[in-house]
Structures are given as structure tokens and as C-alpha cells.
Amino acid sequence: MNYDLLVIGSGPGGYVAAIRASQLGLKVAVVERSELGGICLNWGCIPTKSLLKSANVFEYLKHAEEYGVTISGEANADFEAMVKRSRGVADGMSKGIQYLFKKNKIEVIQGTGKLKGNKQVEVTNDAGEKSIYTAEHILLATGARSRQLPNLPQDGEKVIGYRKALTLDKQPESMIVVGSGAIGSEFAYFYNAIGTKVTLVEYMPNIVPVEDEEVSKQLGRSFKKAGIKVMTGAEVTQVDTSGDKVKVVIKTKKGEENHEADIVLSAVGISPNLENLGLEEVGVQVENGRVKVDEFYQTTVPGVYAIGDIVPGQALAHVASAEGIICVEKIAGHSPEPLDYGNIPGCTYTSPEVASVGMTEKAAKEAGYELKVGKFPFSASGKASAAGHKDGFVKLIFDAKYGELLGAHLIGANVTEMIAELVTARKLETTGHEIIKAVHPHPTMSEAVMEAAAAAYDEVIHI
């Protein structure tokens, strides 16, 4: 059973790499111990967006009268039905990967893979039976799992990770979410929107701390307005699960506070799946908890590659996919361009949504740039007003000397659909004046991009 490429893991890095390799003429197999599509399709990106859409619909119904729509009776959130829909969406996407693998003649090997050296991989199936497969190239794409903190151990019942948060048996009356990155903020928004009392705890001074400070503060205001209790500069120091509710001690600048909730959701990051892969046995080097790779994802062992959450770089599905394509194109003898990690978009699907690419204003100043900063509020957007979504803004950061777009930071309705324009603009080295002169359709939310660029150059019309 010899292959040109054997991929361990079928998440958005592994399955995309496998399909692209097959397109390039390689004989490919994928080893997967669970569902095809990995965490993203089954327990991450896709099912969470399904839940968030249910929350959006519920919120529309609650505010229907504002749009001139009268509904007889009261709208209720059916938590079990929302979860059921979410699982159905995820299952459909996983079946789509099965179809794509069949279409591209990719073999699926069910089981857990381990490197054995000499271009071999040992696969152990659910029955404990072991088989050896040989491949000229082996690609590790094993992803990551919810990170566990010593002072916040997950028991899967009262203290849970994101996976359990997708499939709770019943809606909790109260929840404490620890960590306000994309995962924590999205779950905080979802559960609050359907009626759970939510407290969001963040160790850093602002929520979504990787974002531009103005965006972080705006989301904090929006969350508080929606009824979420937001605690920044705070740390969970103790958790007691012995009673009916979880008792939590939260340390703040003012001292320790006692809180309790039905559920505590730990959303404090991820841990790469590196255990039992045989890395040490075959000589694959790991640095700072990630596999060491070159710009084309070759590890320290010839013929062994790694992508996605187990290598340095942003732990995002679209990053893993891009890395996988670059890796296999290099294997196939092409000349791909290395990935520009400074031009990776990040999206958080709360309400309002958050999307960004490039440098924050603070980072750009610290890098020594002289800046032109333009900001356009959605309160001045005709489309946003018509849609009833006036919260948020577009903020663009330009190098004053050359007009280079250094960073873009958006918060508002549907901004995750708008960020790609700015990623492309940065890729093409578009200047601020070129964005201003690119005619944007009216009325749209995307006009705010052009207006923000105009604001940076004192040419803005509508504010």
C-alpha cells in the first residue's frame, strides 16, 4: 500500500491538501481517527455558525416590530432544535468531504496514525489492529483541542470546553465564559442571545485582545448593552463543582469576587495534537510546543511535513488550508509563493461581527510608521440604518509616506464578508487613494471601506 502522499488528519488543512495533491496527479490517502472534516467542520467553525445563525433569527423575531412586522404570540428559543440543526449542518458538510474524496480518488484510512520512520506510517484502527502504510511524502495535519488550565480543569459536565458547549442536553440558566477570544466571545453572544445569563471573564484589559483597541472597546460596549456581564483584567483562581452550581472565585483589581453559574465554559485557547505521533522517535523537532518547519512546511525529517494548528502561525482554518496547498504544490514540483502571515484575516462571528487584517494602530506606531488613520461609523451608513445595524465602524490604517494599507479593523453587521476586499488590497499593495477612487456600490455596507479611506485623507463626504 504505497502512496505519493499520506495525510494524517482530515481537517481544513488535511483534506484541502489531499484534494489539491490529487489534482496535481499524486496518489493520496488520508488517515482519520474520527469524522472527516476534522474539528472545524464537525465541532468548530461550521456548527458554531449554525448556532449563531439561530441566535440571529431569534433576535430578529424579538425585534420584528421595529421592522414593521407583527408576530402573534411570543417567539421562544428551542435550544434542542437549535443544537439538532447545528449537528445536521455539520453532518452534511462531513458527507460533502466524503464526496470530494471519492471524486478525487482519495483513499480514507480509518484509524490513528503514527510515524515509524523509513517513509512508513502505522495506523491503529478502533479494534486495536495495526497496519503499516508507505508513502513518499507524509503530511501531519492533526489540529488541536481545547486547552486545559490547571486552575480550571474540565470535567465535561459543569466545566466544559467548546465541543461540549455545542451539544449540551439543555440550555443553562447561567454561564461563565472564561476567555474572550473568538471562541469565547461567540459562545457568550450565542447563549446570551437565547436567554442564558452570561458572564464573560478576560485576563487582558480588553475583550478580543488581539484586535485593535477601539474595536475591542466597541464590542465590549455592545456586549454590555446586550446584557452580558463583561469582566476584564480578571482571572479565575478557584472552581468548586461539588454543589448543584459551579462556584467560581474571580480575582480582579478590586480583589476577589465569588460567582456561581450552572456551567463554566473554558475558552482559553487550544493545545496542538502532537502526542503519540512518533515525532521524537523519527527525529521531528518541536519548538515552543509547535512542529518546526521551513517556509514550505518541511519538518526536520526529509519527506515529513506539517501544517495547521501544530505549526507556528495563526491557528485558523483558512491558514491551514493555505498552508496545505502551498505544501503539496511544492511537493509536486511547482513554485508556490510562501504564505504571508502578516496578511491573514481574522473573523469573530458575534453580533456585531469583528473582522481584521494587518497591523493594529498601536502595533503600527510601535513599528515606527507615521500614520494616516481613517474611521467611518456605520451610524452614517444608509444601508446600515435601513438594516437596523448601526453599531460599529470601519477603521483603516495607512503609512503616511507611501499610502500603504497597514491594517484594517471592522466591527459591524456582516463585516466578515467585507474583509476580503482589504486582504486583496493589501496583497496587491493598493494605496489609500486607489481605494478612494475605486467606486463602491450604493447603498452597501462596503461603502464604509471607501469612506474610511477618504477619512484618512480628509476627503470623506458623509461625516
Q: What is the DSSP letter of 414?
A: T
Residue 313 marked as a ligand binder: no
107 three-class SS: strand
What the block records as the C-alpha cell of 206 is 480588553
9 three-class SS: coil
C-alpha dihedral (235, 237, 241, 246), degrees to nearest 10: -30
Tell me which of 63, 334, 389, 442 is the catalytic residue: 442
Per-residue buried b or exposed e for 3-41, using 16+ beta carbons within 10 Å of the residue's own CB: bbbbbbbbbbbbbbbbbbbbebebbbbbbbbebbbbbbb
Residue 183 marked as a ligand binder: yes
Q: Which residues pair with 306 in a beta bridge?
A: 140
354 three-class SS: strand
Residue 266 marked as a ligand binder: no
Phi, psi (degrees; rounded to nearest 5) at 405: -80, 105
Residue 181 marked as a ligand binder: yes
* Measured CA distances, 458 to 119, 124, 322, 397, 431 (Å): 61, 64, 37, 14, 15
Residue 49 marked as a ligand binder: yes
User: Which strands make up the sheet holding 255-261, listed edge to edge?
Assistant: 235-240, 246-252, 255-261
Computed from CA positions of residues 92, 94, 97, 98, in that sequence, does the dihedral angle turn out positive or negative?
negative
Q: Which residues pair with 31 in a beta bridge?
A: 8, 109
Residue 269 marked as a ligand binder: yes
Rg (CA), the chain: 24
CB of 308 closer than 8 Å to CB of 319: yes
Tell me how far apart the alpha carbons of residues 323 and 339 are, in angstroms, rounded to a whole number. Answer: 7
* Measured CA distances, 388 to 219, 396, 399, 417 (Å): 17, 24, 34, 18
Q: Is 442 a catalytic residue?
A: yes
Per-residue buried b or exposed e for 204-219, using 16+ beta carbons within 10 Å of the residue's own CB: eebbbeebbebbbbbb
Residue 113 marked as a ligand binder: yes
Binding residues for FAD: 49, 113, 309
What are the catalytic residues?
A: 442
Binding residues: 49, 113, 179-186, 202, 269, 309
Binding residues for NAD(+): 179-186, 202, 269
